[in-house]
Amino acid sequence: MAQGDTQDTAAARLKHLNEFFREHPVTGPAVGHAPSRSASAPLSLGTLSHVQASVREVIEHTMDVNPDAPMPPARADAVYDWSREHTANAPEAERQRAETIEYRQYLEHAIRAGDVKVIRPHRCPECRCLGLMWQDDMQRALCTNSACVDRGGFSHTFTLSQLATEHIQRQKNVRRARAT
């Protein structure tokens, strides 16, 4: 995470990806010379479509929940605040879905920038141990607890969507416990 970003949020992570893309534009398959894969390794042409798909997902969910929401902001990373503002009065399940999308995107943005450390603080949804490791080839987090295996003896693995759902659900339980 770049210094100066005070809060580690989906918006900050998206801003980071977006700025990187602007500073290192990829105009398409290079003709004549191969695009450099060195400096910008994990951040390349796919980054732009990743940013666009993320923003689109947030906008679509917000408009689904609140068809009267005004035009989304032009700045990509402003879309989370815009969404929160215009789903504030939505039913709890919808707001929780929005929070889960935002948190999943926070993980996705971080991993796309090569920062897999964001996985470590999560407990395994199956055995509750700390010890999840990101597996880039599978695009899943794998539990390194040797006792945490399925019936076939394979380690349990989880998608970012599963981790996000679990994380937001637990946050909600904590908030509810504090409120009572």
Residues that bind Zn ion (CB under 5 A): 124, 126-127, 143, 145, 148
Q: Are 110 and 118 in contact (CB under 8 A)?
A: yes
Residue 79 burial (10 A CB sphere; 0-12, 13-18, 19+): buried
Query: 79 or 132: whose CB is closer to Zn ion?
Result: 132
**Minimum CB distance to Zn ion, residue 160 (Å):** 16
Query: 72 or 125: whose CB is closer to Zn ion?
Result: 125
Give the tokens for residue 40. 């910008």
Query: 63 or 133: whose CB is closer to Zn ion?
Result: 133
**Minimum CB distance to Zn ion, residue 126 (Å):** 4
**Minimum CB distance to Zn ion, residue 124 (Å):** 3
Query: 45 or 148: whose CB is closer to Zn ion?
Result: 148
**Minimum CB distance to Zn ion, residue 159 (Å):** 14
How far are the Cα atoms of 27, 34, 69, 155, 163 from residue 122, in angstroms, in the given order? Answer: 37, 39, 33, 16, 7
Query: 145 or 162: whose CB is closer to Zn ion?
Result: 145
**Minimum CB distance to Zn ion, residue 157 (Å):** 10
156: number of CA atoms within 13 Å, CB side? 20
Q: What are phi and psi of 141, to 5 degrees?
A: -95, 135
CA-CA distance, 132 to 12, in Å (whole number)? 24
